[in-house]
Amino acid sequence: MSAVWVLVNILLFLLIMSGLYWMQKKHISFSVRVFSALGAGIAVGFALPYVYGSDSKILQSSIDWFSIAGSGYVKLLQMVVMPLVFLSILSAFTKLKLAGNTGNISVLIIAILVGTTAIAAAIGIASALGFHLEAVQIDKGDMEISRGKELEQKFGEIQDQTFPQRILELLPENPFLDFTGARPTSTIAVVIFAAIIGIAFLGVKRKHPAHAELFAKMVDAFHSIIMRVVTLILRLTPYGVFAMMTKAVATTDVASVLKLGKFVMASYVALILMFLVHLLFLTVSRLNPITYVKKVLPVLTFAFTSRTSAGTLPLNVEVQTNKLGVPEGIANLAGSFGLSIGQNGCAGIYPAMLAVMIAPTVGIDPFNPSFIGTLIAVVAISSFGVAGVGGGATFAAILVLSTMNLPVGLAGLLISVEPLIDMGRTALNVSGSMIAGLLTSKAVKELDIHVYNEKGQAEEATTLHA
């Protein structure tokens, strides 16, 4: 009998998918389709546990089937991340878009990412202190204890790694290994590898222009192909958002959220405040923040539902270039660096809040200015090399807590609400990388302000609507 109800749920899922496809055929805007998918996912996600129960086998089986669309979409996006990063940056060199100032642009992007992470840490500290969060307020269950032991084990694997060693981890020792995404810093390593080849191309162009011209044509051809692949995958965004949101809502532990409601609220207050800081930076740079919000909402929605900055990269770069007027080379650098450096949510707010919560358990006054100043500096420095996939925030928390001589195991206390908080953190991470691309483009006077201010949302204007 349970198989029959699973089949009914699958048919309902397919019916809603058909509705989204009908909206696409009617040329309804991409943003409207994404938010329709988001709303449908929330509704179905709440309905399923209500009808079958949160521990029902029918629910679990249905979610497994839904994940074909949700997790499958994320995997397709992750599939093109490395080729997209490599070819886009290399293409920027062959088209002379980055040739003369790659170093300056890279330094500026990294400075913005790390600087905003320091601000995010300060906001996280203020939120934790304002809500009077303390680790002792959370009951330790079996799940929390198990998570704590897991974190301590991970800490044992990295505790002897110094900051200079972490910097070395960014360099591509074996680029073919990094193309597989085997390391947390693989994306940055691929960026560096592409930049080195690009610089070599410029040298060959001066000495052997015929060879350089042939190479440039090959790169341009491969880049066109990979961008077409990105276009095909991005067409599936509304369907992926619907499936992922359904799963996220249906599998949320409501009891844990209610029990730890203050911690969830404090986290989202900090995340929203930091997003407002992003908008403030745009305002100071004489860019309309409302325009930014309207154009990036589909990207942030996907980041929120998928919980992967890396998977969001194709969508991130697409919107930066086609909607915000950021040059392609800068957009790729900002998006790629943002996967492993200075993530405002995962590497900024989250470890700072944890440190403030845990400090009283070892007799440290979290209001102490010296503690606060040291924590902000540690968070900013530790934000190098945080992976833009699930687990990046955990890695950042381990680094910060261990450096501050705080018990790492207590970071597992929020495990029951971790997915819910991680959704907001990921969206903020992605916004931070886009802000870095925008501000850098504005600073080097390469931002196409006409594209940024353009209000038209025509379907043919961007591959997002293809």
User: If you average pLDDT over each of 225-234, 240-249, 264-273, which comes out highest?
Assistant: 264-273
How much is the average pLDDT of 99-120? 87
Checking if the pLDDT of 114 tops 90, the result is yes
Checking if the pLDDT of 46 tops 70, the result is yes
Higher pLDDT, 94 or 208: 208
Residues whose CB falls within 8 Å of the CB of residue 191, separated by 6 or more in sequence, listed in order = 85, 89, 332, 333, 336, 337
How much is the average pLDDT of 100-126? 90
Lookup: tokens for 276 = 């407002």
Which of 275, 276, 252, 247 shows the shortest CA–CA distance to 264?
252
Higher pLDDT, 322 or 260: 322
Higher pLDDT, 155 or 395: 395
Lowest-confidence segment of 110-114, 147-151, 212-216, 218-222 by average pLDDT: 147-151
Report which DSSP code applies to 445.
T
Lookup: tokens for 215 = 């190479």
Q: What's the pLDDT at 392?
A: 59
The pLDDT tens digits for 270-300 are 999 999 999 999 999 999 999 999 999 989 9
Q: What's the pLDDT at 163?
A: 63
Higher pLDDT, 145 or 129: 129
Based on the structure, what is the number of domains in the chain?
1
How much is the average pLDDT of 326-353? 87
pLDDT interval class at 21 (50, 70, 90):
very high
Share the mean pLDDT of the chain.
Answer: 84
User: If you average pLDDT over each of 91-95, 312-316, 349-353, which comes out highest?
Assistant: 349-353
Checking if the pLDDT of 458 tops 60, the result is no
Can you give the pTM of this predicted structure? 0.81
Checking if the pLDDT of 145 tops 80, the result is no
Sheet strands (E) in 236-346:
none
Place of tokens 């990036």: 296
Report yes or no: 29 and 457 within 8 Å, Cβ to Cβ.
yes
Report yes or no: 124 and 270 within 8 Å, Cβ to Cβ.
yes
Higher pLDDT, 338 or 120: 120
What is the signed CA dihedral for 117, 122, 128, 134, rounded to 10 degrees?
Answer: 90
How much is the average pLDDT of 323-333? 89
How much is the average pLDDT of 197-210? 90
Q: What's the pLDDT at 459?
A: 40
Q: What's the pLDDT at 117?
A: 95
Q: Residue 186 sits in which domain range?
A: 2-465
What CATH number should be reported for the domain holding residue 297?
1.10.3860.10
Checking if the pLDDT of 417 tops 50, the result is yes
Residues whose CB falls within 8 Å of the CB of residue 329, separated by 6 or more in sequence, listed in order = 88, 89, 91, 92, 93, 97, 98, 102, 105
Q: Rounded CA gap, 345 and 36, in Å?
A: 26
Q: What's the pLDDT at 55?
A: 81
Lowest-confidence segment of 170-174, 212-216, 235-239 by average pLDDT: 170-174
How much is the average pLDDT of 133-152? 63
Which of 279, 309, 311 shows the shortest CA–CA distance to 435?
279
Q: What's the pLDDT at 97?
A: 61
Checking if the pLDDT of 211 tops 80, the result is yes
Q: Is residue 318 packed enough to be buried (19+ CB in 10 Å), middle (13-18) or exposed (0-12)?
A: buried
pLDDT interval class at 390 (50, 70, 90):
very low
